[in-house]
Amino acid sequence: MKKNRPIHYHVYVILLEDEVKHIAKVRQLNPGQDTNKPCVYVGMTGLNPHERLTHHLAGHKASKFAKRYGIRLMPELYEGINPLTYDEAIVAEAGLARRLRAEGYTVVGGH
């Protein structure tokens, strides 16, 4: 019998500076980007998303994009998703990144 995992994981979205849109690797990952939509980082965490943002900005286990270009959380893009189990969060993170990319957002993260 599989042990139940705690339901305390969160998927979150960080607004990034527009400068990220001009990085060749990022453009390559987002061929359908709408330059009128923001660039975002999609992640998952066992922490509160606000606490995780603070960690990114401080460089603690940080995405290089979130650390260097992070501005603020965009809860309007992930409200109603959380909290999740670990397994659910992995699926939700990837799904949210795909959905936002399909809508024209420039997305990094979202493994």
Burial of 95 (0-12, 13-18, 19+ CB in 10 A): middle
Residue among 80, 7, 78 at smallest CA distance from 46: 7
Q: Is there a domain that residue 4 lies in?
A: no
Sorting pLDDT into bands at 50, 70 and 90, what band is 111? confident
Q: Is there a domain that residue 89 lies in?
A: yes
Q: Is there a domain that residue 63 lies in?
A: yes
| Domain count across the chain | 1
Q: Residue written as tokens 């009128």?
A: 36
Q: What is the mean pLDDT of residues 88-99?
A: 97
Query: How high is the pLDDT of residue 75?
Result: 98
Q: Is there a domain that residue 98 lies in?
A: yes
Query: How high is the pLDDT of residue 1?
Result: 44
The three-point CA angle 84-89-94 to 5° equals 150
Q: Is there a domain that residue 3 lies in?
A: no
Query: How high is the pLDDT of residue 3?
Result: 60
Query: How high is the pLDDT of residue 6?
Result: 75
| pLDDT tens-digit map of 17-41 | 999 999 999 999 999 999 899 999 9
Q: Is there a domain that residue 1 lies in?
A: no
* Residue 34 backbone class (left: φ over 0; alpha: ψ -120 to 50; beta: rest): beta
- Expressed as residue numbers, the domain containing 24 is 10-109
| pLDDT tens-digit map of 3-15 | 666 789 999 999 9
**Model pTM score:** 0.93
